Chain A
Amino acid sequence: MPNIVVLVKQVPDTYSERRLAEADHTLDRESADAVLDEINERAVEEALLIKEAQGGEVTVLSVGPERATEAIRKALSMGADRAVHVSDPALHGSCLLQTTRVLAAAIGKVDGVDLVIAGNEATDGRGGAIPAMLAEVLGFPQLTHARKVAIDGTTITVTRETDTGLTHLSATLPAVVSVGEKINEPRYPSFKGIMAAKKKPVETYTVADLGIDAAEVGLAAASTTVLEATPKPPRSAGQRVEDSGDGGGKIAEYLIGQKLI
Chain B
Amino acid sequence: MSETKKFMYLNRRPPYGTIYAWESLEVVLIGAAFEQDVSLAFLDDGVYQIMKGQDTGEVDMKNFSPTYSALGDYEVTKLYVEKESLEERGLSIDDLMHLTWEDEDEDWAEKDSIQVVTRAELAKLMDEQDVVFSF
- A and B interact physically: no
* A positions within 8 Å CB-CB of B: none
* B positions within 8 Å CB-CB of A: none
